[in-house]
Amino acid sequence: MRILFIGDVVGRSGRRIVTETLPELRRRWALDLVVINGENAAGGFGITETIYNELVEAGADAITLGNHSFDQREALVFIERAPNLIRPGNYPAGTPGRGAAMVETAKGQRVLIMNLMGRIFMDAMDDPFALADRELAACPLGQAADAILVDFHGEATSEKMAFGHAFDGRASVIVGTHTHIPTADHQVLSGGTAYQSDVGMTGDFDSVIGMEKDEPVRRFLTKIPSGRFEAAKGPATLCGLAVETDDATGLALKVAPLRLGGRLSETQPDFW
Amino acid sequence: MRILFIGDVVGRSGRRIVTETLPELRRRWALDLVVINGENAAGGFGITETIYNELVEAGADAITLGNHSFDQREALVFIERAPNLIRPGNYPAGTPGRGAAMVETAKGQRVLIMNLMGRIFMDAMDDPFALADRELAACPLGQAADAILVDFHGEATSEKMAFGHAFDGRASVIVGTHTHIPTADHQVLSGGTAYQSDVGMTGDFDSVIGMEKDEPVRRFLTKIPSGRFEAAKGPATLCGLAVETDDATGLALKVAPLRLGGRLSETQPDFW
Amino acid sequence: MRILFIGDVVGRSGRRIVTETLPELRRRWALDLVVINGENAAGGFGITETIYNELVEAGADAITLGNHSFDQREALVFIERAPNLIRPGNYPAGTPGRGAAMVETAKGQRVLIMNLMGRIFMDAMDDPFALADRELAACPLGQAADAILVDFHGEATSEKMAFGHAFDGRASVIVGTHTHIPTADHQVLSGGTAYQSDVGMTGDFDSVIGMEKDEPVRRFLTKIPSGRFEAAKGPATLCGLAVETDDATGLALKVAPLRLGGRLSETQPDFW
Amino acid sequence: MRILFIGDVVGRSGRRIVTETLPELRRRWALDLVVINGENAAGGFGITETIYNELVEAGADAITLGNHSFDQREALVFIERAPNLIRPGNYPAGTPGRGAAMVETAKGQRVLIMNLMGRIFMDAMDDPFALADRELAACPLGQAADAILVDFHGEATSEKMAFGHAFDGRASVIVGTHTHIPTADHQVLSGGTAYQSDVGMTGDFDSVIGMEKDEPVRRFLTKIPSGRFEAAKGPATLCGLAVETDDATGLALKVAPLRLGGRLSETQPDFW
Ligand SMILES: [Fe+2]
Ligand SMILES: [Fe+2]
Ligand SMILES: [Fe+2]
Ligand SMILES: [Fe+2]
Ligand SMILES: [Fe+2]
Ligand SMILES: [Fe+2]
Ligand SMILES: [Fe+2]
Ligand SMILES: [Fe+2]
């Protein structure tokens, strides 16, 4: 199966490169599944229903979120009627929406998509390790699902690598989001799970993690806010992770980063 | 000028790839300056004098450190007689050693090397922004120094990018360390400074940030320590950043990552 | 019912004042229940079986713990045969021991004792609010238990006060521990729960939260460890909270701090 | 000298008890100096010029601040014309206002008042220990000043106690603020400095640290904001610390808490 995961889309600039390139990528590479992290799609803060629909029309099978899930308060409502909008599963019980969804591809393959939040240097959520263990036990890879993708939304590289190893062999892909900077450590772990500590944002890299740089730089210098954070408006780099899985086992065969446009050096999977 | 920076060398595995490959790299590429972050060189925790000498003999002009600077207590002593061993400059006044050093290359060029610690999600140190501003004001790039390299040892991508922009044009290279995972965002910023959020460790990537994975994974699962952290012993990936600077201005002309050996995909600068 | 809760006993100095004064206090005031936080009883770090027995013999009906629960690794074993040794309930599932216990007083009254860890500025544990809600729903005050005491082991005053209000009326006593400094905000909340943000340690207050002051002061000044933390050896102040509950409802009627010995100003409940 | 320090005044409720009681307290006890922490005086967030003047008219000789210093942006301006409005001295260089001020009492005694921010569990500021050391070296107690009061605005009890011991004997009073909960550990340290880890807020204690409790409780339960924080409106408790100093040495002779009104148990110094 051919899977493309696209990292935190930031604001209008990030959305533009998705809508302009994803339809063609999906066709050219005959992608079976596209998942996008959309937690920053609305001006950097959360997601609206309009934007959710825009990303789905551009070719996303599912949208994952993170600590910004509900920055746009309408998300608390429309998430209930958006079956493939997935927020971190380790929010408290009773939170609107769901933390995992089973998506069926055009060829009829079932893919479990999970979203989890890390806890190191982040808000206090329920244990993502214990939750993943329960959910993956209930949905064995290669049996109950043809592929499993986990978007682990976290800050600390230690927690992300530990999570990768803890569930190596039980998911097809474990990919990090949230730091907004792509890491160059994509690999197939020894148990067969494709892993990357952070896929990076889809946004303008002439910025501070996607935001216009003046205000954040000034805050570091002065320790006093003097304005709001606004999504940077320059051309975005689309950051993604391409994974080819074995249809029999669900494990990863190949993994490569995708980077298109903007300021970062471009790279594409050479196996498609 | 041709500059190579090598990220956090972790334990014996990391040291081995440095001593085995750096002498040849230095020759092949006619490198003018090599700087290595050595804060984890001694079994993952700090640096000894023997190891410092080993890294210098392998071809390092200077060694930078970080939050693990003094894990080996002998470093508090020998740092005073190791002129090119540089610890973060924003330790409290009175800390042994120095936070910056002017190194002269074989061709007689002067390079200022600074080491600073970030403060987001890290220990409370003095302000690295204010300190960098003072030191760079006292040493204008292209005038008082032919090149300036800053190793910004920090956790948060926001702080690192903000630091990069804040001093863009005033240093040749601003490179992050500490997360142990290389980022794929190397670029020449608009003011001419080569930048990468994190160069990544030089260590075994079948690990949790360089440590044998069992104990860290178990701690995330149980929240109770059941042993010590030990440096992973598998083959290391050498992670570095290659920068070519303009001899007249000191600004960066080209930047590319270097990754050799171990589990990560290999890459080399194509401009040397 | 007459309840006395005694805060974090630190080292030998803390244990001495407990063994010297508690038997007499218990007799004089005809206490029905005594609970002691013992997480720092063994030299400041954890608890041993010998010390557990010592505190029980001095008059404790139950011992609660905190983030130092398992600093002495023998606690992972003997906690299983120590029915009234209670560690925070929001450790991961599978952790040795229990997070709550029903204790029967000499008069045959049943008291539920719970221990929970806060999450603000502390390690990432399971949600103490959700867990308390489940456990208190399963054990209604005045019906399934004649009294309920919760030791909320946390750092932030905001989290502690929020916890108090969230469960006001569903427990007899909600008392904070962990900061080691007694607060002066004891009150019966509007729903009938006796509350104090932190009961304070039972230890030497000529110290840094119970530890000999030289090393912690030096670490704040230098940012470099130069020795181990050791429990301070001067005379301890016993810090406790005295609560009288209504036998019919289980709610609190009266609350007052207890402070005996050492450097702090002494105070005793005037209603016994 | 008779000194009264009053803790973080929160909103209208906190201001009311100050304006209603302070003039009479000042007269009755013939106070020489009154200092108030005003960082939450404007609805819980910062201070306006009108409120500053109101507190001065009620009897404050100086107003200290904290992490909320500039929540009301007008404070960035009027602080320059308010000589006895003191913000933490360890803000970056160039921050409007001052971190210390020398106040002269009606009897002509000079009192140095300093405000500092802690760094544990707080924003990254300059080193308060190093700054205090420099400022106290420049102003020896009993020589350059008849009394010295330090408002240490911090979260962690360890940092506050360490600060107290580090400067014991060099200030008349070291008093903590910021947690909003009064501690019961007031004492004269062995070197002669009056100390209390936190003086507590002057606000409504039927709240979550001074804020209406519904929204903070809900956030702990749901992890999703559903409204703004608003200062609680019930009757406030005035929380203060009373210190009598030796006119010859500047050291503390007596120390006692003051608590008036609202929900907390009342207490007054018995030595005036
Ligand atoms: Fe994001
Ligand atoms: Fe995020
Ligand atoms: Fe490192
Ligand atoms: Fe580090
Ligand atoms: Fe404790
Ligand atoms: Fe504790
Ligand atoms: Fe405050
Ligand atoms: Fe504050």
Q: Which of B120, B126, B133 to mutate to test the interface with D (most CBs of D within 10 A)?
A: B126
The runs of H, that is alpha helices, within chain D are 11-28, 49-58, 75-78, 128-137, 157-166, 214-222
0.95 exceeded by the pTM? yes
Both tokens of residue D134?
């420099």
Bind-site residues of A for Fe cation: 8, 39-40, 67, 153, 178, 180
Whether the Cβ atoms of residue C256 and residue C35 lie closer than 8 Å to each other: no
Res. C54 pLDDT band, cuts 50 70 90:
very high
B40 is in an annotated binding site: yes
Task: Nearest chain D residue to C122 by CA: give it.
Answer: D121
What average pLDDT does this structure show over D212-235? 96
**β-sheet bridge partners, residue B1:** none
CA of C226 vs chain D CAs: smallest distance (Å): 16
Give DSSP secondary structure letters for C228-240: ---B--SPPBEEE
Nearest ligand, measured from the Cα of B36: 3
What span, in angstroms and rounded, lies between the C-alpha atoms of D151 and C79?
43
Give the tens place of pLDDT for each residue, D76-122: 999 999 999 999 999 999 999 999 999 999 999 999 999 999 999 99
What span, in angstroms and rounded, lies between the C-alpha atoms of A237 and A214?
20
Res. A130 pLDDT band, cuts 50 70 90:
very high
Whether the Cβ atoms of residue D5 and residue D199 lie closer than 8 Å to each other: yes
pLDDT for position B4 = 98
Residues whose CB falls within 8 Å of the CB of residue D29, separated by 6 or more in sequence, listed in order:
D2, D4, D242, D269, D272
Q: Which of D221, D224, D226, D228 to mutate to test the interface with A (most CBs of A within 10 A)?
A: D224
B127 and D124 within 8 Å at the Cβ level: the answer is: yes
C95 and B222 within 8 Å at the Cβ level: the answer is: yes
D92 → closest Cβ in B119, B124, B127: B127
pLDDT for position A90 = 97
Whether the Cβ atoms of residue D139 and residue D150 lie closer than 8 Å to each other: no
Whether the Cβ atoms of residue D172 and residue D139 lie closer than 8 Å to each other: no
What span, in angstroms and rounded, lies between the C-alpha atoms of A50 and A58?
12
What span, in angstroms and rounded, lies between the C-alpha atoms of D260 and D267?
7
Whether the Cβ atoms of residue D179 and residue D152 lie closer than 8 Å to each other: no
Residues whose CB falls within 8 Å of the CB of residue A108, separated by 6 or more in sequence, listed in order:
none
Res. A54 pLDDT band, cuts 50 70 90:
very high
What span, in angstroms and rounded, lies between the C-alpha atoms of B78 and B68?
15
Per-residue DSSP letter, A209: T
C8 is in an annotated binding site: yes
**C188, containing H or E segment:** strand C187-188
Cβ contacts below 8 Å, chain A against chain B, sum to: 121
The β-bridge relationship of strands D173-177 and A2-6 is unpaired
Give the tens place of pLDDT for each residue, B120-135: 999 999 999 999 999 9
pLDDT for position C32 = 98
> Sign of the CA dihedral A224, B141, A234, A178?
negative
Residue of A2, A68, A119, A259 marked catalytic:
A68
Give the tens place of pLDDT for each residue, C232-260: 999 999 999 999 999 999 999 999 999 99
CA of B55 vs chain C CAs: smallest distance (Å): 24
Three-class DSSP category at C104: strand
Chain C contact residues (CB < 8 Å to A): 92-93, 119-120, 124-127, 129-130
Three-class DSSP category at D113: strand
Give the tens place of pLDDT for each residue, B143-172: 999 999 999 999 999 999 999 999 999 999
C184 and D121 within 8 Å at the Cβ level: the answer is: no
The domain made up of A2-206+233-260 has a fold known as Purple Acid Phosphatase; chain A, domain 2 (3.60.21)
Res. B3 pLDDT band, cuts 50 70 90:
very high
Residue of C12, C68, C186, C259 marked catalytic:
C68
Both tokens of residue A88?
């971190």
What span, in angstroms and rounded, lies between the C-alpha atoms of D151 and D66?
9
CA of D196 vs chain C CAs: smallest distance (Å): 10
What average pLDDT does this structure show over C32-37? 98
Q: Residue B207: its chain A contacts at CB < 8 A?
A: 161
Per-residue DSSP letter, B247: T
CA distances for A239 relative to B23, B52, B256, D166, angstroms: 35, 38, 18, 50
pLDDT for position D136 = 98
What span, in angstroms and rounded, lies between the C-alpha atoms of D10 and D47?
10
What span, in angstroms and rounded, lies between the C-alpha atoms of B113 and B63?
9
B125 → closest Cβ in C94, C95, C223: C223
Where exactly are the structural domains of chain A? 2-206+233-260
Whether the Cβ atoms of residue C105 and residue C77 lie closer than 8 Å to each other: no
What span, in angstroms and rounded, lies between the C-alpha atoms of B98 and B101?
7
Three-class DSSP category at B58: helix
Residues whose CB falls within 8 Å of the CB of residue D249, separated by 6 or more in sequence, listed in order:
D141, D142, D192
Whether the Cβ atoms of residue D148 and residue D132 lie closer than 8 Å to each other: no
Other C-beta atoms lying within 10 Å of the C-beta of residue B133: 16
Give the tens place of pLDDT for each residue, C55-113: 999 999 999 999 999 999 999 999 999 999 999 999 999 999 999 999 999 999 999 99
Per-residue DSSP letter, A176: E
Both tokens of residue B225?
């320590």
Q: What share of chain D is helix, strand, coil (3-state, %, to 5)?
A: 25, 30, 50
Other C-beta atoms lying within 10 Å of the C-beta of residue C104: 12
What span, in angstroms and rounded, lies between the C-alpha atoms of A7 and A257?
11
> Sign of the CA dihedral A124, A127, A132, A134?
negative
Chain D contact residues (CB < 8 Å to B): 92-93, 119-120, 124-127, 129-130
D85-86, strands of its sheet edge to edge: D85-86, D62-64, D33-37, D2-6, D238-245, D252-260
What average pLDDT does this structure show over B180-191? 98
C33-37, strands of its sheet edge to edge: C85-86, C62-64, C33-37, C2-6, C238-245, C252-260
Give the residue carrying structure tokens 């203060």.
D240
Give DSSP secondary structure letters for A86-129: E--TTSPTT-SSBSEEEEE-TTS-EEEEEEEE--TTS-----HH
What span, in angstroms and rounded, lies between the C-alpha atoms of C256 and C272?
10
Residue of B26, B68, B160, B186 marked catalytic:
B68
Q: Residue D125: its chain B contacts at CB < 8 A?
A: 124
Q: Residue C200: its chain D contacts at CB < 8 A?
A: 183-185
User: Is residue C165 among the annotated active site residues?
Assistant: no
ipTM at complex level: 0.96
**β-sheet bridge partners, residue D58:** none
Which partners does chain B have (≥3 C-beta pairs < 8 Å)? A, C, D
Both tokens of residue D262?
């609202």
The burial of D108, by beta-carbon neighbours within 10 Å (0-12 exposed, 13-18 middle, 19 or more buried), is given as: exposed
What span, in angstroms and rounded, lies between the C-alpha atoms of B114 and B37?
11
A95 and D221 within 8 Å at the Cβ level: the answer is: no
pLDDT for position D37 = 98
Give the tens place of pLDDT for each residue, D167-200: 999 999 999 999 999 999 999 999 999 999 999 9
pLDDT for position D100 = 98
A157 → closest Cβ in B209, B213, B257: B209
What span, in angstroms and rounded, lies between the C-alpha atoms of A134 and C92?
13
D187-188, strands of its sheet edge to edge: D100-104, D110-117, D147-153, D173-177, D194-196, D187-188
What span, in angstroms and rounded, lies between the C-alpha atoms of B115 and B153?
7
Residue D112 CA to chain centroid, in angstroms? 14
- Cα of A38 vs centre of ligand 2, distance in Å, is 10
Residues whose CB falls within 8 Å of the CB of residue A6, separated by 6 or more in sequence, listed in order:
A18, A22, A34, A35, A36, A37, A60, A199, A202, A238, A239, A240
Amino acid residing at C252: A
Both tokens of residue B54?
């080993």
Residue of D12, D15, D26, D68 marked catalytic:
D68
Q: Residue B156: its chain A contacts at CB < 8 A?
A: 121, 155
Among B26, B22, B67, B33, residue whose Cα is nearest residue B47:
B67
What span, in angstroms and rounded, lies between the C-alpha atoms of A260 and A238?
5
CA of B166 vs chain C CAs: smallest distance (Å): 26
Both tokens of residue C86?
């209670």
- Cα of A153 vs centre of ligand 1, distance in Å, is 8
Res. A34 pLDDT band, cuts 50 70 90:
very high
Three-class DSSP category at C167: coil
A206 and B190 within 8 Å at the Cβ level: the answer is: yes
